[in-house]
Amino acid sequence: MSEPADLVAEIELLETRLAEARQSITRRFIGQERVVELTLTALLCGGHALLIGLPGLGKTRLVETLSTVMGLHGNRIQFTPDLMPADILGSEVLDTSADGSRHFRFIQGPIFCELLMADEI
């Protein structure tokens, strides 16, 4: 079990890093501080966030900025009427090697990431 002094040091380090991340995000995403704060909270809690708003308010930019600043692998799914499960999950393709043998190889879809934006649901 960690000593109280170690826990305090870890919490202070986390607080410093969170302040740096918040500052970096607000440099790239101007305004809407409350949205930034709540989105960061959802991300740190391992939860989900639903960003609702008119086009052009920066929802996509916020998610892209969060991904960059936090060092996360992020992807985006554009929800269109013709979206198929394979467009989200990925699919298997048949590969033929130089010796003529065939095998299936799975190509991962955009859902295999750390931060996923489902756009225009």
CA–CA separation, 20 and 15 (whole Å): 9
53 and 102 part of one domain: no
30 and 54 part of one domain: yes
State residue 28's pLDDT score: 86
Residue-wise pLDDT tens digits, 35-58: 999 999 999 898 899 988 888 888
Residue-wise pLDDT tens digits, 11-34: 999 899 999 999 999 888 888 889
Q: How much is the pTM?
A: 0.74
> What mean pLDDT comes out for the span 57-62?
88
| Domain carrying residue 39 | 1-72
User: How many domains is the chain built from?
Assistant: 2
Contact 79, 91 (CB under 8 A): no
**Cα-based angle 92, 93, 98 (whole degrees, multiple of 5):** 140
